[in-house]
Amino acid sequence: MFDSTVKHDSGGNPMPNSVALVEAFWDAVWNAHDADAADDFVVEDFVITNAGVRIEGRENFKTWIRAFLDQVLDLRLEVAESFQNHDGSRVASRWTVHGRNNGLFGLEPDGRPISFSGTAVWEIEDGKLVHNHVERAAHELHQRLLAA
């Protein structure tokens, strides 16, 4: 289990290290290709809004992760930067995903290398991920895959 209270304020009170929580999530779930690891990070009623599509509930989120991992072989997520607001209730991240096409966007799974960038804004409560708002450069990737 991840401990998100590693910093302390001037009064000695623990403060959330929400960036570390989010980056641990990226590593444990996406880079380890382990959807079940989300159980350690997200609340039961977790919501992700990805490119305008809302997925509700931890189990539905894990199903979505598995489907995405099936479409992007050897997925690797590289974080460019992450930062949190003053109380740790929000984290923003810029990242790039690399992998190989295995049927992304319903296209032929040809194994070609792919990469795309994105941003995520996380809502965090009591050391758990509650909501993730994601925008990714999917249109540009789709156009590149169609052109080849």
Query: Which CATH number characterizes residue 82's domain?
Result: 3.10.450.50
Position 137 in a domain:
yes
3-state helix, strand, coil in the chain (%, to 5): 30, 45, 25
Residue with tokens 């509700």: 56
What's the domain range around 41? Answer: 7-147
CA distance 45 to 33: 22
Position 16 in a domain:
yes
The answer to whether residue 6 scores a pLDDT higher than 60 is no
Position 43 in a domain:
yes
CA distance 62 to 28: 13
Position 120 in a domain:
yes
Position 1 in a domain:
no
pTM value is 0.85
Which residue did the predictor score with more confidence, 49 or 2? 49
Report the domain count for the chain.
1
